[in-house]
Amino acid sequence: MESWNFGMKEINRIIEKYYAPGTLAHSIYVPHCQAVTQLALKIARSHPELGADEKILEYGGMLHDIGIFMTDAPEIGCFGDLPYIHHGYLGREILEKEGLELIAPVCERHIGVGITMHDIIQNELPLPRREMVPVTIEEKIVCYADKFFSKSSKDLFEPKPLEKVKKSIIKYGPEKWKVFEEMMKIFGTDLFHSSNL
């Protein structure tokens, strides 16, 4: 179990180990993760009754996409060999090697509203056969916050309109949108600009 005797300096060291400053990937990765982290912390502070650990949110928010460099996504500066959907479990493996076992599951559990074993089998997804759905409150908050920020936006800090979020989720089935609606009931949408809802 890792201790919290390190801070953002250590997190930045891990990011820069895999995303060299000055590269396209770094210029997209860092603002995207900052936007997700800022929203995750806003949610936690607006809902103290949830008891979310802000350090886990901060570190998980900044590292949730650490595996994208291993995927084939040249539009965001990633030139790996694997399909983008692999970045979740790859990120988990990276953080486990970095000694961040407590944070690591955030990586593979933030995709969509979570990927179930049923999803993997039914859709023949090229993923390890295990449940990849958010379990802890911190995992759920990072997963939720991530849905509002696109890596292809001109302004990476501008949250997506809710209608766009819905389109991106509902294409995977109405049951996925129901999961997201439950998240909305718990975490709210009042932390965004009203023009985006």
Strand boundaries in 29-155, DSSP class E? 72-73, 78-79
Domain contains 1: no
Domain contains 48: yes
The model's pTM? 0.93
The pLDDT of residue 98 is above 80:
yes
Residue 165 makes CB contacts below 8 A (sequence gap 6+) with 147, 148, 180
Domain contains 3: no
Mean pLDDT in residue range 34-57: 96
- Identity at 117, one-letter amino acid code: M
Q: What is the pLDDT of residue 192?
A: 60
Each residue of 111-137: pLDDT tens digit?
Answer: 999 999 999 999 999 999 999 999 999
Q: What is the pLDDT of residue 191?
A: 66
Which tokens is 119 given?
A: 């999803």
Concatenate the DSSP letters of all residues of 124-176 into one string: T-SS-SS-BS--SHHHHHHHHHHTT--TT-SSTTSPPPHHHHHHHHHTT-HHH
* Dihedral angle sign, alpha carbons of residues 51, 88, 91, 102: positive
What is the C-alpha to C-alpha distance for residues 6 and 29, in angstroms, rounded to an integer?
21
Domain of residue 101 covers 8-196
CB atoms within 10 A of CB 105: 22
Domain contains 55: yes
Mean pLDDT in residue range 30-44: 97
The pLDDT of residue 146 is above 90:
yes
Each residue of 154-164: pLDDT tens digit?
Answer: 899 999 999 99
The answer to whether 13 touches 62, Cβ cutoff 8 Å, is: no
The answer to whether 26 touches 152, Cβ cutoff 8 Å, is: no
Q: What is the pLDDT of residue 7?
A: 83
What is the C-alpha to C-alpha distance for residues 146 and 170, in angstroms, rounded to an integer?
16
Confidence bin at 151 (pLDDT 50/70/90) = very high
Domain contains 2: no
Q: How many domains does the chain have?
A: 1
